[in-house]
Amino acid sequence: MADIFDVIIIGSGPGGYVTAIRAAQLGMSVAIVERELLGGICLNWGCIPTKALLKSGEVYEQLGHLADYGLKVEGASFDFDGIVKRSRKVSAQLNAGVTFLMKKHKVEVIEGTARLEKGQDSAKGAAPKVVVALKAGGSRTLTAKSVILATGARARTIPAVGLEPDGERVWTYREALVPRRAPKTLIVIGSGAIGIEFASFYKALRSDVTVIEALPRILPVEDEEVSKAAQKAFEKRGLKFRVPANVKKLSKTKSGVAVEIEAGGKAETLEAEVAIVAVGIVGNVEDMGLEALGVKIERTHIVTDAHGATGVPGLYAIGDVAGPPWLAHKASHEGVHCIEHIAGETPANLNAPIPGCTYSTPQIASVGLTEAQAKDQGIEARVGRFPFRVNGKAIASGETEGFVKTVFDARTGALIGAHMIGAEVTEMIQGYAIAMTLEATEIDLQSTVFPHPTLSEAMHEAVLDAYGKVLHI
């Protein structure tokens, strides 16, 4: 096997493997190095298996509302092992899919852990060498014109207050995905996408769940109105919150954990069987020889220019390891941009807005600026809203919770943000993402025909509302 490639990609998550496919399409010889599983965290320990768990939870929770639909089922219950097994099977299927795609595109997959070293020609501007400690034993030294780091990120822990997972009673997303049992009582620390998705799943399986958030509102990256509506909707499902609350100490008890918090100047100790720590992530930058090469790292992330270049000749970084937003689709998009730039093509637009989705019940989705961010940027915002409770399809489906909110630049009419909470909004947000990528104004959106009856009509109405033309309210 040759050890010389046009490009070597380290890490095979949605950043790395998508970049490998695009590189192969561009006629490059490609190697991808992976220390664990093809598909990375997203496919094996993140986006995909959580969606499988959440689907099981949703179906089970819906059984509790069958009477609303004129239906009856008696004695519904769940098989927890079966739920987890299905989730693992879904990941395995997609992992096999990535293996197939690598073969199809003649990408050489090298199983092992990569380290970078200065090559003989580094002084002449050549990319660093890649030394792989092979899973099968031994090592292999590879060279390429370009090396792309796509090593991702992992859960942040805070050992100082005991937020250090032990896999038994204190979990990160890893353990939360493959538990032996559904805990009867659960504390989730952090109300970002990971915390809220697991809180939503375990609540659906009837766990008693309390979410602790340090900032003044849950899902703090979302528009304030959405955060508020989300908390209200989750409370209606029985989720409990301590917001804002500072975690002072997490300690183990005989049967679980105790979390000492301070909220509104008052101390409180919460107890549960298990705590899930979901307080953000840190980049995987260690043990790769980056410091010796002079790669700039800030707050656990590799600093790059707009094309992913690190400043070290021939070395690039994309995806989670290159900084926020830590989202699979951002990693893929950056990777494609990076490799097209390396190939001298006109690369994919990096300024395209990046939608964010949380797959809880109800779902939350957004793209662009919140109303507050628009104001902070000195933009005069023109805002529209439309609730699902008066949307025909939502009423027929019995899913009337939530609303759509649009934010326009009042001066130009450009759509600059959209925020949604409700059923299926993660599937609909792309409509607004396309509109924003095409720099649509209120006139384009008002002129667009939305099919009836659909939930998406609320997207149209939220645009009309911003301009005083709302029809169904």
Our CA angle for 214, 216, 226, nearest 5°, is 120
Smallest distance, Å, CB 270 to ligand NAD? 12
- Which two tokens mark 252? 């183990």
Stretch that binds ligand NAD, among 115-123, 210-218, 344-352, 381-389 (CB under 6 A): 210-218
Stretch that binds ligand NAD, among 35-43, 70-78, 319-327, 404-412 (CB under 6 A): 319-327
Smallest distance, Å, CB 434 to ligand NAD? 19
Smallest distance, Å, CB 243 to ligand NAD? 9
Measured CA to CA, the distance from residue 70 to residue 65 in angstroms comes to 9
Smallest distance, Å, CB 10 to ligand NAD? 20
- Which two tokens mark 124? 């002449």
Asked if 259 is part of the footprint of ligand NAD (rule: CB under 6 A), the reply reads no
Pairing of strands 274-277, 170-171: parallel
Question: Using CB atoms, what's the residue nearest to ligand NAD?
Answer: 192
Q: Coil, strand or helix: which one is 93?
A: helix
Smallest distance, Å, CB 230 to ligand NAD? 12
118: alpha, beta or left? (left if phi > 0; alpha if psi -120 to 50) = beta
Asked if 52 is part of the footprint of ligand NAD (rule: CB under 6 A), the reply reads no
Asked if 39 is part of the footprint of ligand NAD (rule: CB under 6 A), the reply reads no
Please, which residues bridge with residue 189 across strands?
212, 277
């659909």: which residue's tokens? 454
State which of residues 110, 116, 144, 194 lies at the interface with ligand NAD (CB under 6 A): 194
- The contact mask relative to ligand NAD for 154-193 (x = CB under 6 A, - = no) is ----x------------------------------xxxxx
State which of residues 119, 280, 313, 413 lies at the interface with ligand NAD (CB under 6 A): 280
The DSSP H or E segment spanning 262 is strand 257-263
Asked if 15 is part of the footprint of ligand NAD (rule: CB under 6 A), the reply reads no
State the catalytic residues. Answer: 452
Smallest distance, Å, CB 287 to ligand NAD? 22
Nearer to ligand NAD, 64 or 325 (CB): 325
Contacts made by residues 49-53, CB under 8 angstroms, sequence distance 24+: 49/87, 49/88, 49/90, 49/91, 49/177, 50/87, 50/173, 50/177, 50/197, 50/198, 50/201, 50/359, 51/90, 51/359, 52/86, 52/87, 52/90, 52/91, 53/83, 53/84, 53/87, 53/177, 53/201
CB atoms within 10 A of CB 69: 10
Nearer to ligand NAD, 112 or 162 (CB): 162
- Alpha-helix residue ranges (DSSP H) falling in 46-149: 47-63, 80-104
Nearer to ligand NAD, 234 or 326 (CB): 326
Could you tell me the CA-to-CA distances from 236 to 151, 195, 435 in Å, in that order?
Answer: 39, 18, 33
Counting residues that bind ligand NAD (by CB under 6 A) gives 26
State which of residues 171, 241, 316, 359 lies at the interface with ligand NAD (CB under 6 A): 359
Q: Which residues here bind ligand NAD, judged by CB under 6 A? A: 158, 189-195, 197, 212-215, 220, 247, 278-281, 325-327, 356-359
